[in-house]
Amino acid sequence: MSTATKKATKPLYAAIGAGTTALEKARELPQRVTTLPGTLKSLNEKIDLRELPKQIQSLGTSVPDRAGKLVDRSRKLTDTTQKRLSKLTKRASKNYTDLSKRGEKLVTKVRKSAPSKRAAAQTKSARARIKAAATSVRKAAEANVEAVSSAVDKATSEQAS
């Protein structure tokens, strides 16, 4: 396969790979839904709503101090964010390549499957039969033209005599 063909088919393979991945995740969904009530219950037990007013009052006195810390933290986060963005870009590229390989593997598997090979063979056979039928029809039409032409020639020669 040429490089241009590989570049052209890579998005298709990636889409197929993403589809198979989505199907796998969808199969896991019922199990995750059944565990959700337990997860929500444990979160509810960790939060005490009666303590919220006290926590809100204590936030008011610490706002100026927290604002200064937030400015410092935002500077650090900018550097961290740029590093993470670089890592995520590499990861996205790798995931795209992995999905493309996965899709290509599935397409190859389907192409090599017995039903696909049978369908290809039947298509080839049908194509050959259609070509033969077209040839037969063409030859029959040519023979009819010759017969009609011969009959016309004979009829005109008999009338002339």
Over residues 72-112, the pLDDT tens digits come to: 888 888 888 889 999 999 999 999 999 999 999 999 999 89
Asked whether the beta carbons of 14 and 96 are under 8 A apart, the reply is yes
102's tokens:
């996965």
State how far the Cα of 103 lies from the Cα of 142, in Å rounded to an integer: 51
Q: With cut-offs at 50, 70 and 90, classify the pLDDT of residue 161.
A: low
Q: How much of the chain, in percent, has pLDDT values that exceed 90?
A: 33
Residue 90 phi, psi dihedral angles, 5° rounding? -65, -40
Segment 101-150, tens digit of pLDDT:
999 999 999 989 999 999 999 999 999 999 999 999 999 999 988 888 88
Q: What pLDDT shows up at residue 44?
A: 66
Nearest to 107 by CA among 5, 4, 16, 15: 16
89's tokens:
């870009």
**Global pTM exceeds 0.85:** no
Asked whether the beta carbons of 20 and 102 are under 8 A apart, the reply is yes
Q: What is the mean pLDDT of the chain?
A: 84
CA separation, residue 35 to residues 27, 29, 42, 46, 102 (Å)? 15, 10, 11, 17, 30
